[in-house]
């Protein structure tokens, strides 16, 4: 059974066993969240979001329509995702898809532009701005984020 804090606004019923959703989270009705996840306080999850198993999403993160997090992903506090490359007020478009693959980690305050794929076991440093795809098993950081080294995994 999932734990949903009484101060969370969780409309989805597609939440896996052992997942914890903490206070002040907002989870829309069609969101899908796997088992063993931890959504810390103040996370927002829109309808067209898929979260795999054993994912950690720290406080202050918004997962907009079109974001998918595969299994064992770590999203640090205040990571910012986007889903529209050319946003305008009251002009609604189909969200651009963003994929964070299995085992990837994104450090605090990083910004991930719409349409990016972050490869398996990749790591994005805190405060980085990711403007292009990151291959599997690589560490990137900076503004704009640049390749630093291969991971040990």
- Asked if residues 17 and 34 have their Cβ atoms less than 8 Å apart, the reply is no
Please tell me the predicted confidence (pLDDT) of residue 122.
98
> Which burial class, exposed, middle or buried, applies to 109 when counting CB atoms under 10 A from its CB (0-12, 13-18, 19+)?
middle
Encode 64-85: b = buried (16+ Cβ within 10 Å), e = exposed.
Answer: bbbbbbbbbbbbbbbbebbbbe
Are 28 and 43 a contacting pair, CB within 8 Å?
Answer: no
Domain annotation for the chain: domains and CATH numbers: 1-153 (2.160.10.10)
Distance CA 13, CA 111 (A): 29
Q: Which two tokens stand for residue 53?
A: 């198993």
Per-10-residue mean pLDDT for the chain, 153 residues long? 97 98 98 98 98 98 98 98 93 92 98 98 98 98 97 76
Q: Is the separation of the CB atoms in 106 and 126 below 8 Å? A: no
- Rounded to the nearest angstrom, the gap between the alpha carbon of residue 1 and the centroid of all alpha carbons in its chain is 23
pTM for the structure as a whole: 0.96
């Amino acid at each position: 059974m999932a734990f949903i804090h009484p101060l969370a606004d969780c409309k989805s019923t597609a939440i896996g066993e052992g997942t914890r959703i903490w206070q002040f989270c907002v989870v829309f009705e069609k969101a899908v969240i796997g088992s063993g996840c931890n959504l810390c306080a103040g996370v927002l999850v829109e309808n067209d979001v898929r979260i795999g198993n054993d994912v950690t999403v720290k406080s202050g993160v918004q997962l907009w329509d079109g974001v998918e997090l595969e299994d064992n992903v770590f999203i640090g506090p205040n990571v910012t995702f986007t889903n529209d490359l050319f946003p305008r007020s009251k002009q609604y478009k189909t969200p651009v898809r963003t994929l964070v693959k299995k085992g990837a980690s994104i450090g605090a305050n990083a910004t991930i532009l719409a349409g990016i794929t972050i490869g398996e076991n990749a790591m994005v440093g805190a405060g980085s701005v990711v403007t292009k795809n990151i291959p599997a098993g690589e560490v990137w950081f900076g503004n704009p984020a640049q390749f630093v080294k291969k991971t040990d995994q």
